Amino acid sequence: MTLRTADVSILEKKFSIYLLLAVENNPGMNKWEIMSLEEGSLKTKLNRLNELIDEGLIETEYLKNHNASALKLTEKGRQIAIKLKKIRYILLKDDNSTDTENDEE
């Protein structure tokens, strides 16, 4: 199986990983709420959210009783978010073990 650069390039863009994990941690929020969780360019975040939707990682669920929509991860988005959390855990674990090793020297 050959990995194409286009398959992962969305995750290399600014705010992509942050937004993916923000939607995973806050399902049901709308775009504005997700974009407002942390400082940064709202225009860039909006563009990135739309790209993540286009890539099939996030989906918009339109609410029946309200003139609003909610964001949630697709199955593919959930799988990626799980792996990103594992990577973050490994990096944090390595940082802690490195600090401990340096303390012993």
For 45-67, how does the pLDDT look when each residue is reduced to its tens digit (9 = 90+)? 999 999 999 999 999 998 877 77
> Which domains are assigned to the chain?
8-104 (1.10.10.10)
> Would you state the structure tokens that stand for residue 48, as one six-digit string?
């990135």
Instruction: State residue 104's pLDDT score.
Output: 44
Instruction: State residue 102's pLDDT score.
Output: 47
Asked whether the predicted pLDDT for residue 4 surpasses 90, the reply is no
Considering the entire predicted model, what is its pTM? 0.78
Q: Express each pLDDT in 10-54 by its tens digit.
A: 999 999 999 999 999 999 999 999 999 999 999 999 999 999 999
Cα 101 from Cα 105, distance rounded (Å) = 7
Question: pLDDT band at residue 8, thresholds of 50, 70 and 90?
Answer: confident
Q: Output phi, psi for 62, to 5 deg.
A: -85, 130
User: Once rounded to an integer, what is the mean pLDDT over residues 59-80?
Assistant: 89
Are 46 and 35 in contact by the 8 Å Cβ rule? The answer is yes
Instruction: State residue 83's pLDDT score.
Output: 96
Asked whether the predicted pLDDT for residue 73 surpasses 70, the reply is yes
